[in-house]
Chain A
Amino acid sequence: MTRDGWWFLALSLLFVAACLLELSLGPMRIPFAQIPGGIWRYLHGGRGINDVVLGDIRLPRLIVAALVGAGLAVTGTALQAIFRNPLADPAVIGVSSGGALGAVVAMGWSVTSRLPWVTPLAAFVSGIAAVELTYRLATRNRQTSVYSLLLAGVAINAFCSALISLILTLSPLQTMQQMLFWLMGGLDGSTWLHGWVIGAVVMLCSLLIGAYRKELDLLSIGEEQAHGVGVHLQRSKRAVLLLSALLVGVCVSYTGVIGFVGLMVPHVLRMLIGPSHRKLLPASALGGATLLLCADLVARMAFLPIELNVGIVTSALGAPFFLYLLNRQQGSHSGGRRGSHERT
């Protein structure tokens, strides 16, 4: 087996292990040996306590966590290629903060207790709108420069955050708590319906992004290089951005903002299995799913019986990782000058 083959095997094993732990651990421990039986009985109408905990709570949660993690990581991989920037992640194109704004507005509008699907819908629509706005702001004369895109993304993010803070401040205490909880990102209350919707969207968008693997390889080298060998820049960039927005929009709308998964996973995997998107995209999907499952385990188990929001865990992991990346980049830029510092 090749070196990459071993990495895929290792990732798969990690993923399976994370799945088993996610199903087994919790306020009520279910031994590994009883898991297959429990799921089998649930699917055939069994309603023992173990069967229900597995089938109604943990399995949908596992599915949502794995899919959202995979989706965020795939999107992060694609965006890092397009922006040619290892620090890019789904948040940079404005979809996360746009989605958050929509959700907060919907909650403040207080129809959500009667119509629970309004929050996801609002988050989704405003997420996509934020991406579209970012894209329009960055486009001049039918050309979209990645620098303008990054800057426009920063501006849109800041603007959305300001509006969110404003709404939070003006809301009654109870609504505000609900909003804050959503903003921190969580997987609790995942149902089979969430699983189906997110599953369909994540699978479809990931496969379509996968169809652009060659374009992503080329874009990651440079836009002009990519153009030189025949990549239709505008079309590929736009397609991948829209697919990313759709994917992340749907995820954010159900789970709230879960940061840093899309940043960390592709970065680590690129170091392990190389830059080619043919391998990197599936590996990222697997790695993202595993990471979010692990983060969810920590969120559920660290402060039993209190459950943390999974977004807190990923951010706690992500912030030091971000600093490590920053440090590494600076190191590679100033490496040549280090000698002269030592002399002085």
Chain B
Amino acid sequence: MLADVHLQMRVGQMVAVVGPNGAGKSTLLKILAGLWRPTSGRVWIGERDIHRMPAKERARQIAYIPQQWLDSIPFTVTEFVRMGGYAHNASRQSVPLSELLTQLGLGEYADQPLMRLSGGERQRAILARCLYQGSEVVLLDEPIANLDLFYQLEVLVTLQELAKRGALVVIAIHHLELAMQYCPTCLLLHEHRVRGFGATADVMNETVLQEVFRIPVKRYQDPFNQTLRLSYEWEEYRT
């Protein structure tokens, strides 16, 4: 599925993994999470090969949130978030769970089943579980898919803060503009290979995007808030 991936990521970075459907984003995250074994090659965290670490020890350092629509989970929010502590032995907890829930605006839902929450609140609960796990590396597969604008931005800002506090955050994301705004580093995958890795503004230049996504792209600065924007010209391309 993937070939020739040689990367080094550091704590404190927030990395967007972008690329067309089928480029290998999810595959890469699954391999980084230790869920799938690469047929060749290794994944190191510090000095250690993550595929040779005991599962709990790995989870204390790497949290992985798959892309899954959790719409039939009967557990309450508290029970669900507490599961993040699985890899830790009972007594650890730097942040008390109730405080964490309040921080993320989930206080009033603490005893509600997860499946009664709206999509956005559910994503918050997943983030809460992720924070409760307290890992230094956080891998999320499409954390903002299916969310409305408010929750998209909320999730990204929360992750940004997590990276500022010294975590390595890696997210697979389809929304290129949001990736440019919130992720200083970007990994562009194309046809199972790395097409670019580095500062987002450099990686996502017009020529490369046009080639990878097969659509003419223009980049410009938003006069309203000075962020980088993309405009696509589907019609021109089709004719």
Binding site for B on A (CB under 8 A): 141-142, 214, 217-218, 221-222, 224-225, 227-233, 235, 270, 274-276
Q: Which of A214, A222, A270, A274 is in CB contact (< 8 Å) with B86? A: A214
B35 touches A230 (CB 8 A): no
Q: Which residue of A lies closest to B129 (CB)?
A: A229
| B79 and A224 form a contact (CB under 8 A) | no
Give bound CA distance, A218 to B37, whole Å. Answer: 21
Contacts of B79 in A (CB 8 A): 217, 276
In chain B between 8 and 63, which residues have their CB closer than 8 angstroms to a CB of chain A? 30, 33-35, 37, 54-60, 63
* A149 vs chain B, min Cβ distance (A): 18
Pick from A228, A231, A275: contact of B33, CB below 8 A. Answer: A228
Q: Once the chains bind, are A230 and B59 in contact (CB under 8 Å)? A: yes
A residues within 8 A CB of B70? 221-222, 225
- Chain B nearest CB from A1 CB (Å) reads 17
Q: For the complex, is B133 an interface residue (Cβ under 8 Å from A)?
A: yes
**A residues in contact with B64, CB < 8 Å:** 224, 227-228
Q: Chain B residues near A224 (CB, 8 Å)?
A: 30, 35, 64, 66, 68
Using A222-B68, A224-B66, A225-B68 as known contacts, say yes or no to A230 and B60 having CB atoms under 8 A apart. Answer: yes
Contacts of B30 in A (CB 8 A): 224
A262 to B89, CA, bound (A): 32
Docked complex Cα distance between A229 and B37 (Å): 17
Are A221 and B73 in contact (CB-based, < 8 A)?
yes
Taking the closest CB of chain A, its distance from the CB of B122, in whole angstroms, is 12
Q: Which residue of B lies closest to A234 (CB)?
A: B55
- Taking the complex as formed, is B2 at the interface, i.e. its CB lies under 8 A from any CB of chain A? no
Interface size on B, residues (CB 8 A): 30
Asked if B84 is at the interface (CB within 8 A of a chain A CB), the reply is yes
Question: B87 near A230 (CB under 8 angstroms)?
Answer: yes
Closest B residue to A222 using CB positions:
B68
- Could you tell me if B68 and A229 are in contact, using CB atoms closer than 8 angstroms? no
B80: A residues at CB distance < 8 A? 221
Instruction: Give B35's nearest chain A residue, CB to CB.
Output: A227
Please give me the residue from chain B that is nearest to A230 by CB atom: B59
Contact assessment for B86 and A218 in the assembled complex, using a CB-CB cutoff below 8 Å: yes
Contact pick for A228, options B60, B63, B74, B76, CB 8 Å:
B63
B74 contacts A229, C-beta separation under 8 Å: no
Tell me the complex Cα distance, A232–B86, Å: 11
Tell me, yes or no, whether B75 is within 8 Å of chain A by CB. yes
> Inside 8 A of B66's CB, which chain A residues have their CB?
222, 224-225, 228
The residue that B74 contacts in the complex, of A141, A214, A274, with Cβ under 8 A, is: A274
CB distance from B56 to the nearest CB of A (A): 4
Q: How far is the CB of B224 from chain A (nearest CB, A)?
A: 38
B11 CB → nearest A CB, Å: 19
Give the docked Cα–Cα distance between A124 and B35 (Å): 35
What's the Cα separation between A224 and B66 when bound, in Å? 6
Q: Which 5 pairs from chain A and chain B are nearest by CB?
A: A230-B59, A230-B87, A228-B64, A224-B66, A232-B55
User: What are 11 A-to-B residue pairs whose CB atoms are below 8 Å?
Assistant: A217-B75, A221-B75, A224-B30, A224-B66, A228-B63, A229-B84, A230-B56, A230-B58, A232-B54, A232-B55, A270-B74
B65 at the interface (CB under 8 A from A): yes
Tell whether, in the assembled complex, residue B75 and residue A276 are in contact, meaning their CB atoms are under 8 Å apart.
Answer: yes
Bound form: Cα–Cα A229–B129 in Å: 9
Contacts of A276 in B (CB 8 A): 75, 79
